[in-house]
Structure 1
Amino acid sequence: MSSPPAPARLTDRKRAAILDAAVAEFRHAGYETTSMDRIAARAGVSKRTVYNHFPSKEALFAQILERLWDNSMDGLDLAYRGDRPLRPQLLELVQQKLRLLHDDNFVDLARVAIAAAIHSPERAQDMVARMGVREEGLTVWIRAAAADGRLKTDDPLFAAMQMQGLVKGFAFWPQITLGLPPLNAAQQKQVAESAVDMFLAYYAES
């Protein structure tokens, strides 16, 4: 198979540079202060080039959020296994979630996204919808375990939200809203194990 032409590769590199520059600017200055001029300067391209790829700051920010939510899916789609105990399966899902929440880039961008959403209810609704989609993997796992008769719930989405709350109450919201440091390894282990044990104590079929 022949290689793509050089201009296409250059265009892709410029787009990637713009996205990386935008991430850095949004993290450093926040949504309202960041400008397309600053992004262009950091990326080493003209402002026209930025607009050729992204028609507005809103569109560029939306693309960054898309990358953010895509990253949140990495490894979070473990399929339910009927031949394995529930606890290690659920613990693996939670531990992967904690690794994501420990990522500085994810935390910083999530903080920017939430701050931007305060000024735009429409953006907030879109962000919440995206987060719901990205966390669907846990809901799917719970739904499969319930269908297999191993969890007792007729509302997998509600159960998944409870589990997310148990984790994010320690490993997301304090860092986002209060600027607390990320959990260390021992704290992550404590949060994961206690959340899973509490969840299974209520939902697991005896």
Structure 2
Amino acid sequence: MSPSLSPYHQRVAEEKRALIMDAATALFLELGYDRTSLARIAERSGVSRATLFKQFPTKAALFDAMISESWSTSENDEPPAAGDLSAGLTAIGLRYAELLGRPEMANLFRIVIAELPRFPELAGAQFSQGKMPYFASVHRYFLAEHAAGTAHVEDAELAATQFLGMISNYLFWPRLLLPEWNVSAERATEVVNEAVRTAVARYAADN
């Protein structure tokens, strides 16, 4: 977004972008990726075609933006500083739980899964631009704790997979099949805390 825009125009641009994203997600789920056009998204969102095409010249560019925004965090995806394994994993786990709890995250996965036979590139984009960069940040964190001597991690890739899997297996994957699956904030925190305890018991250097 251009820094030369006034606060008012920035707010209007952000509101229009949100309308576009909401309309695109709804139409992708309703009609499928192939049958959804940018013109139809513009009509559903109430935004002019010129405005939409200026921000997203192609449908692929719009989908890529959906991925980036779904996986974005206020901390710019940077892992915590090494030195306290329990505190660092707690911060990572709570951030991950917040990401998985976003409605757009489940919707994004539903779109990718539904369109996988015809558009495998959507799954590739989801992994390369969304999941894998986030996973890489957790991988770097385990390597940093190992280098700092606060953890003993022979396989950081496996450690990151185990830790994130303990959280997503309870908080996220059931939501794709069970619409009524709802986890309270308190329960989500319990899930994260138990995952942290398990990982610390396995990898902390003083264990």
Q: TM-score range by the shorter chain?
A: 0.7 to 0.9
- The alpha-carbon deviation at position 29 of structure 1 amounts to 4.5
Corresponding position: 1:154 with 2:161: no
Q: 1:172 to 1:126 in 2, by over 3 A?
A: same
Residue identity in the other structure for 1:195: A
Further displaced range: 138-147 or 38-47: 38-47
Judge which range, 192-201 or 46-55, deviates more: 46-55
Do the aligned residues in 2 keep the contact of 1:76 with 1:93 (CA within 8 Å)? no
Shift of 1:75: 6.5
Instruction: Measure how far apart 1:165 and its partner are.
Output: 1.1
Normalised by the length of structure 2, the TM-score is: 0.78
* Inter-CA distance 37–93: structure 2 relative to 1 (3 Å threshold): same
Superposed CA RMSD in Å reads 3.2
| CA offsets 1:137-167 (integer angstroms, 9 cap, x no match) | 2212111111112211232122111111111
**Cα distance in structure 2, aligned partners of 1:96 and 1:50:** 31
Q: Is the 8 A contact 1:76 1:137 kept in 2?
A: yes
- 1:194 corresponds to which residue? 194
Deviation at 1:198, TM superposition (A): 1.4
> Which residue in the other structure is 1:165 paired with?
165
The worse-fitting range, judged by mean Cα deviation, of 50-59 and 120-129 is: 50-59
Corresponding residue for residue 64 of structure 1: 66
Q: Offset at 1:49?
A: 4.9
Cross-structure match for 2:113: 114
Structure 1 CA distance for aligned equivalents of residues 198 and 4 of structure 2 = 55
CA-CA distance at 1:204 after TM superposition: 1.6
TM-score, scaled to structure 1: 0.79
CA contact (8 A) 2:25 2:107 kept: no
Alignment length, in residue pairs? 202
Question: 5+ unaligned residues in a row in structure 1: which ranges?
Answer: none
Equivalent residue of 2:72, what SS?
helix
Alignment of 1:1-206 (within 5 A): 17-47=19-49, 49-71=51-73, 74=75, 76-82=77-83, 85-130=84-129, 131-205=131-205, 206=207
Please tell me the residue identity of whatever aligns with 1:57: K
Instruction: Determine helix, strand or coil for the equivalent of 1:135.
Output: helix
Question: Share of identical aligned residues, percent?
Answer: 30
| Closer, same or farther: CA 135–37 of 1 in aligned 2, 3 Å | same
Q: Distance in 2 between matches of 1:154 and 1:21?
A: 45
CA–CA distance in structure 2, aligned partners of residues 186 and 79 of structure 1:
23
**Is contact 1:80-1:89 (8 Å) kept?**
yes
Change (3 A) 1:161 1:8: closer
